[in-house]
Every structure is written in C-alpha cells, then in structure tokens.
Amino acid sequence: MKTHKKQEKIIQMFDDIAPTYDRANRILSMGIDISWRKKACDKTYDMISSKNIDLIVDTACGTGDMMGFWQKRADKKKINIKRILGIDPSSEMLKLAKKKFAGFDFAQAQAVDLPLPNESADILSISYGIRNVVERQKAFKEFARVVKNGGFVVILEFTKDDKKGFFHSLKQFYLHKILPFLGALVSKNYEAYKYLPDSIEGFLTASILQNELKEAGFKTEYVKSFSFDISTLLIAKKCL
C-alpha cells in the first residue's frame, strides 16, 4: 500500500472510532495510562528550569487528554503556560477535543506537516500516536524544525520488546486476544482494535526509537518503561 493511502486509512479508522474512543481507552487500560501521562508531564517539567512556557504542542492529540494533563500538572507546579495547541489529522477526534477543552487551541494537520513557525515550541508531545505515523523519520525532522533549541520532545508509546517469559506471554495474550474483543464490544469496530496489537508488533524497540530521534537532532535524556514494558516514556532534548 502506498504511503499516502496507508496514512489516510489509519486516519479514517480514528474518525470511525472517535465517538467511543475515550470510553474504550479507560476500559482497555483500566485507567493506568493516567499515571503514565502524569509521569511524562512531571518529569518534563522537572527538566525545564523556567516557570514560564510559551507553547506546548500535543501532536496526534486525539480527544485532548494529554493537553489536560499538561495544564493540570503545570498548575500544580506553579508553571505558567501561554498556549497549549493540539494537532490531529482526524476531524472527528478534534470535534470531541474542542468540546472537552474549550480553552485550548486546535488545528487539523499531520505530524509530518505542522502548522507552526520554526523553533516555536518549548515542548512537543505525542502520546500513543507515533506508531500511527507512516513517515516517522519525516515527522521527527518536522519536530526538530518546530521545537526550540533546548526544547523537548516527549513520547509515550507502546514499544515492541524482545523479551520472553511469563509476563511477556501474559502481555501478548491480553493484546492479541482480550483487547480486540473488548475494543470491539465498546466500539463495534473489531478491525480498529485488532490494528492496535498488530501495530505494536510492527513497531520499534525503545532503543531503535532513540536512534531515530538522535538522527533528527534529539538527545534522549530520560527513558522509562511501565507495567512490564507495555508502555515506554522517552524524553529527548533538541541539541542542534
């Protein structure tokens, strides 16, 4: 499948599952993703010396959950954010995001073509979305364009692991057997939730992801795996 067609198919899939997306996420993750998101925000803020941030961009923002965590954790740490911008290629996801977070700004665009000036963002995050970007290396170069020198890219993702053993087998059983069934039950879309484990299997290890970020001009400052390596947090600093 050609790159453009493949990307458009993924975007259409997210348009289709948008109405049940939040409910399915909470059920499938059992709410544990909330702690992962908080950790990502808190750790990034600890790495930034300033209490004033011009712009945080959340790419592949979906219905805006990560944007909400950026704001809440900033409030807790007495950090002032001038602007939070959510960007997503799915129009249906953005409709829901705008209803949930009326105080934030949103734009419809893909990760490879962000509607932002050069070196304008202090932080750019992408949560559980980078594996859905077909032209990933092109996206990383785009991230390097819009992030300020010394700014951060924050990635939360389901990375592939090469481990074996009981917990690996348990994770594989959940991803391939339980998750598609529950996802289909909530969304009435089996194919979308079969895509999730398949996309993880076809994705990268955390170490390969770090190498790709390095090639784009980022130095990984922090890596943390959660819940038996189900999810990985990477925080990388732009060093061009």
Region 16-35: mean pLDDT is 78
DSSP code for 209 = H
**Segment 5-21, tens digit of pLDDT:** 889 988 988 898 888 87
Q: Assess contact for 75 and 67: CB atoms under 8 A.
A: no
Residue 124 domain boundaries:
3-238
Task: Read off the pLDDT of each residue in 58-65 and give the average, rounded to a whole number.
Answer: 96
What pTM was estimated for this model as a whole? 0.88
CA-to-CA distance for 136 and 138, rounded, in angstroms? 5
DSSP bridge pairs for 76: none
Task: Look up the CATH number of the domain holding residue 180.
Answer: 3.40.50.150
Least confident piece of the model among 68-72, 148-152, 195-199, 219-223: 195-199
The count of domains in the chain is: 1
User: For residue 115, how many other CB atoms are within 10 A of its CB?
Assistant: 10
pLDDT at residue 121 greater than cutoff 80? yes
E strands, the chain, are 52-59, 80-88, 105-108, 121-127, 147-157, 218-226, 231-238
**Exposed/middle/buried for 169, CB within 10 Å: 0-12, 13-18, 19+?**
exposed
Q: What is the pLDDT of residues 174-226, one digit of tens each?
A: 666 666 666 666 666 667 666 666 666 666 788 888 999 999 999 999 999 88
Kindly state the percentage of the chain with pLDDT values over 90. 57
